[in-house]
Amino acid sequence: MRVLGIDPGTRGTGYGLVDSAEGKLRLVECGVIRPPAAASLPERLREIQEGLAEVIERTDPSCVVVEGVFYGQNVRSMVVLAHARGVAVLTAAQRDLPVFEYPPAEIKKAVVGTGGATKEQVAFMVGKHLRLATPPEPADAADGCAAALCHLLGGRARVKGEPRAAAGR
């Protein structure tokens, strides 16, 4: 199974593609889609969509995992983040890929062992799980890898768009 994990953001959308075969996890690639900082929100969303579409077409994942919304105090930031998440979900759905989502705390718990892990701890453990010499960089790319790992390590996914009662897998 080849899983594309996505850490959405309008300033930088991290992604990590992880293969699981014969019980072994392997990093295929990771990176960050970084729209121009001066671009308008619609322009940044288009850059993210085009970048994710290119990654999906080139790497042929089995499914996509998108990090869930983080409920912070800044409502405007949360709404802008939701736009980036929507672009990621739509880009995968347009290619008939199953889309799963996990809350940030569940991703951290699956990868690190605690839902309150720091970005540095997540990156370090991603490197350990994938037997890398150094953790993936930057942090957005490591977070994309962590989302993919969460799914492959048996996280309790929710199919995007289905009611919570339908969760499973």
**Among 158, 62, 33, which residue's Cα sits nearest to residue 103?**
158
Amino acid making up residue 92: A
The DSSP secondary-structure symbol of 69 reads P
Catalytic annotation on 19?
Answer: no
Long-range contacts of range 79-85, CB-CB < 8 Å, 24 or more positions apart?
A: 80/10, 80/41, 81/8, 81/9, 81/10, 83/10, 83/41, 83/45, 84/8, 84/9, 84/10, 84/13, 84/45, 84/48, 85/8
Q: Which of 19, 47, 106, 140 is catalytic?
A: 140
Q: Which of 19, 47, 67, 101 is catalytic?
A: 67
Catalytic annotation on 29?
Answer: no
Asked if residues 137 and 31 have their Cβ atoms less than 8 Å apart, the reply is no
Catalytic annotation on 50?
Answer: no
Per the structure block, which two tokens stand in for 138? 């930057």
Asked if residues 16 and 5 have their Cβ atoms less than 8 Å apart, the reply is yes
Active site residues: 7, 67, 140
